[in-house]
């Protein structure tokens, strides 16, 4: 898991060759005007999901995980509270992992909460269970989905 300002995220480009294109997309001058939904960057290897949501609050935020993608969750406006737990500590899956959607949910509670203000991003790897939308305010986010090379060649 990484928590960083967008302005300093370039130091993490060495972690994944697709992070450079993700930074470029998140730095677009029109990012705040993009419509909600999926935006292609590099097909299924790298894409963004824009959303404007009202937070669920910490009690209703649900831990999730992914196997094929790294999530870069960037807050455009407002702020998010994102719960985090190491996936190895999640003992109560809600159901079978959905391979098609690359998504698993857990009834466990996060061990840590991160405040992610506007201009900041949180990066979650497959070993990071995360519970987005723990805020109770409106939040405008862009989630960049970065394919993990070893699983998507």
Q: CB under 8 Å to 9, separation ≥6 — which residues?
A: 19, 23, 121
pLDDT of 152 higher than 70: no
Q: Which domain holds residue 29?
A: 2-152
pLDDT per residue as tens digits for the range 20-46: 999 999 999 999 999 999 999 999 999
* CA distance readout (Å), 145 to 21, 28, 123, 138: 11, 17, 10, 22
Q: What is the pTM of this model?
A: 0.94
What is the chain's mean pLDDT, rounded?
95
CATH code of residue 135: 2.60.120.370
**Overall number of domains in the chain:** 1
What confidence tier does 153 reach under pLDDT thresholds 50, 70, 90? very low
């Amino acid at each position: 898991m990484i928590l960083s300002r967008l302005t300093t995220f370039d130091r993490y480009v060495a972690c994944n060759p697709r992070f450079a294109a993700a930074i470029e997309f998140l730095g677009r001058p029109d990012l705040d005007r993009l419509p909600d939904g999926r935006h292609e960057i590099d097909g299924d290897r790298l894409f963004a999901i824009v959303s404007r949501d009202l937070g669920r609050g910490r009690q209703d935020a649900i831990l999730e995980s992914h196997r094929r993608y790294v999530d870069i969750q960037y807050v455009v406006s407002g702020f998010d509270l994102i719960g985090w737990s190491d996936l190895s500590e999640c003992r109560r899956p809600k159901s079978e992992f959905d391979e098609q959607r690359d998504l698993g949910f857990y009834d466990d509670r996060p061990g840590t909460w991160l405040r992610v203000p506007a201009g900041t991003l949180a990066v979650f790897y497959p070993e990071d269970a995360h519970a987005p939308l723990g805020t109770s305010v409106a939040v405008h986010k862009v989630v960049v989905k970065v394919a993990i090379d070893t699983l998507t060649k």
